[in-house]
Structure 1
Amino acid sequence: MDYRRGVVTGESVWRAIVLYGANSATYKFAFGTTLLEIAATGRDHVTLDELAPRYAELLCQALQRQPRQGTAARSRFLDACRAFNVGDLDRDTLHRRTVQLGFGNVIDAFPQLRGGQAPVRYYEDRRRNSTLPGLVIRDELHRLARSVHARDLDAETTARWRLVETAWTTGVSGALLVPSLVYDPGTRDLVLHTRQRRRSVTGVAAALSGYQDGRCAYCDRLMARDAAGGPVVEHVLPWKLKRLPIRHWNGPDVDTVWNLALSCTSCNQAKQDRAPHETWMPWLERRNNDLIESRHPLREVLMSQTGDTEAARHATLKSAYQRATELLPAVWTPPARVPTA
């Protein structure tokens, strides 16, 4: 993504925070969503009392969806949200406890990347200001909330949240038998297969968009969600390989995350059932390494499919590409990548 390539923009740093920040609890997802919504109203200052209702609402909804929302054994704040959900706490008390308990770490931790301050600041912490306590919303966040990226960023945050929940609840990080996560073209979702059930986890487009900074994997042009130009969920090595007898294609499942990318409609239609030229393939290798390095909630799934080390993943991808192009010799050369704006 752009931030990792050295191009610092408001949206690339926001994506880095959501994708590469710590995942010890899901507070940052609720906090980020609340901040974007507040900034979209044009407010330049907000108190914790004003942040609390929406922030608590998002976490209460999450707890109804999935009871585990953190790695700590107990959380007084989440306990208050649970009590509200079962009717043991009224709304006003929930909001007071949210102000008291819910913001202790997230305000300081949210703008941190790899232990340091993120290069873009979205707010100033004025909680200890006796005259006007709260957060001052900076212009960087206002611009982000008004930009064409805002809706995509909200969807990407939600997708990451669902993936974190999935990793915790299925025990992926410590599982001996990694559950299968595959692409469902009918719903355009990642679908989790366990011994108990099959269920949709989240949309593939939202889950992958942040790692591509909202750009087409092939031509690097920005893609607006739901626009005619994309994004399209693209099988890098053609899906057609799945239809071949197992004795012909014995590589990793092409319907899983390692082989999925987002492209614009133009590139998708031009590529058809062909692999991209081999000179493009390092992009996919870097993207998969980024997914794993970012402590992606399903990194163990990726590693089980492609290898535990970068060297092993390189060998797996090289072998898969070689076999794919032996079976389907025609390849497609992507267009020249446009300069990053």
Structure 2
Amino acid sequence: MAQNVTLLFDTSDVDYRRGVVTAESVWRAIVLYGANSATYKFAFGATLLEIAATGRDRVALEELAPRYADLLCQALQRNPRQCIATSSKFLDACRAFNAGDLDRDTLHRRTVQLGFTNVIDAFPQIGGAPAPVRYYEDRRKNSPTPGLLLRDELLRLARSVHAQVLDAETAARWRLVETAWATGVSGAVLGPSLVYDHAKQELLLPTRQRRKSVTGVVPALNGYQDGRCAYCDRLMAQGEASGPVVEHVLPWKLVTRPFWTGPDVDAVWNLVLSCTPCNQAKQDRAPHESWMPWLEQRNNDLIDSRHPLRETLITQTGATATTRRENLKNAYRTATELLPSTWTPPKRPHEGQCTPGKTPPISNAPTTSVRA
């Protein structure tokens, strides 16, 4: 009987980015993807969600300014660099407030004058084109009280179950961006040294004195998976007891094997989020090789999108897509030689939610990869 031979990492049928257009997915695309020249969009997005949660559909710039400025003042206290430009009159005003040289009322006036000049136009853009979902209408011109008209798409999103998760994802992306700038990520300083803390589920940046927490892994990765399990594609419940779970694709158990010579499995390239049922079913096994293109494309996608972890992933996986594929193939071969039993993830539905009481149909029977 002929064996079914799988070509290692054939990506022809991979659907990593499904292209589902919802208010939630487009918001994530705006916040999580694209170049970052300043962190204004993170503060602006967080402010919009907070105000929209009150149900108001009109907001003046004077009402946006206090929270928007507060978030940026707090960010400057964490990291003094919040943009790639050498100077910013608005950020200078925030710095002056932090130093006690500017009172709060003056800060708010300068925020109205300077803080929204570009961010209102730039925020609803993806790749230089208008986003497919509009969250507000600009009412700054020809109005006695310049501001925004908040659309139903934003009002519903801000009052949905997704709002808190989106806020955490925005904060995580913000921490990654500012840490990258502060440490000179373009020189790969962040890349080789970023480590994962199992107990805290955080990405840490070692310094001479201690390991500095950069951000939590769950909010840092959740948005790029659209809140779905990496294996079964179901929406993950957000409670502490039900997930998401930080999952090692190639099992962490490999580090206990004396003959493991592959890359560090405790690094970002090998970390994904899964629902609790898939995590429990997978155990200390690698996924079947038919799933591995998902990981390959996830890593390529983050690198190509200029993600703050770009240098980290390049350092860990390789400078080109070809090199990354070969390195991943070699790591997978070695892993499945040391731990031959693999796990086949369930089919990838596009509806439903993983909760402890609703386990997706998962095959627990050990399988073994067959390669040419």
* TM-score (norm. length: structure 1): 0.96
For structure 1, the 5+ residue unaligned runs are none
Higher fraction of helix: 1
1:307 match: 318
**Aligned-residue offset at 1:146:** 1.4
Distance of 2:24 and 2:262 partners within structure 1: 36
1:329 equivalent in structure 2: 340
**CA contact under 8 A between 1:3 and 1:12: conserved in structure 2?**
no
Q: Is the counterpart of residue 240 in structure 1 residue 253 in structure 2? A: yes
Q: Cα RMSD (Å) of the superposition?
A: 1.7
Tell me if structure 2 keeps the 8 A contact 1:148–1:224: no
Contact 2:243–2:275 under 8 Å retained in 1? yes
Confirm whether residue 284 of structure 1 aligns to residue 290 of structure 2. Answer: no
Q: List per-residue Cα deviations over 1:64-96 (Å, max 9, x = no partner).
A: 111111100010000000100111000000000
SS state at 1:208 partner: helix
Match of 2:50 in 1: 37
Q: Among 67, 70, 77, which residue is 1:54 paired with?
A: 67
The one of 129, 133, 138 aligned to 1:116 = 129
> Which of 135, 143, 163 matches 1:130?
143
Paired residues for 1:85-96 under 5 Å: 85-96=98-109
The 5 A counterparts of 1:1-341 are: 4-175=17-188, 178-195=191-208, 197-245=210-258, 248-340=259-351
Percent identity for Structure 1 against Structure 2 = 78
Aligned residues: 339
CA distance in 2, matches of 1:295, 1:177: 14
Work out which structure has the larger RCO, using CA pairs closer than 8 Å and 6 or more positions apart in sequence: 2
Does the aligned pair in 1 maintain the 2:317–2:327 contact within 8 Å? yes
In the aligned structure 2, how far is the partner of 1:176 from the partner of 1:263?
Answer: 29
Say which SS state the counterpart of residue 190 (structure 1) adopts: strand
Provide the rounded CA distance (Å) in 1 between the counterparts of 2:28 and 2:304.
Answer: 15
Which of the two has higher C-alpha Rg?
2
For the Cα contact (< 8 Å) 2:250–2:335, is it kept in 1?
yes
Query: What whole-Å deviation, never above 9, does each CA across 1:251-284 have from its counterpart, x for those lacking one?
Result: 1111111000000110000101000111111111
User: By how many angstroms is 1:172 displaced?
Assistant: 1.3
* Contact 2:135-2:150 within 8 A present in 1 as well: yes
- Give, as a single letter, the amino acid of the residue that structure 2 aligns with 1:6: G
1:146-171 Cα deviation digits (max 9, x unpaired): 11111110000000000001110111
Structure 2 CA distance for aligned equivalents of residues 183 and 83 of structure 1: 36
1:91, 1:286 → 2: CA distance? 47
**Alpha-carbon distance in structure 2 between the residues aligned to 1:154 and 1:326:** 42
1:21/1:112 contact within 8 Å kept: no
Structure 1 residue 173: Cα displacement: 1.0
Counterpart code for 1:104: T
Q: Name which of structure 1's ranges 172-181 and 12-21 shifts more when overlaid on structure 2.
A: 172-181
Question: 175-184 vs 17-26, which deviates more?
Answer: 175-184
Residues 277-318 of structure 1 deviation map (CA, whole Å, 9 limit, x = unaligned): 111111111111111111111211100110111111111111
Deviation at 1:326, TM superposition (A): 0.3
Amino acid at match of 1:243: T
Amino acid at match of 1:210: G
Q: Give the counterpart letter for 1:84 in structure 2.
A: F
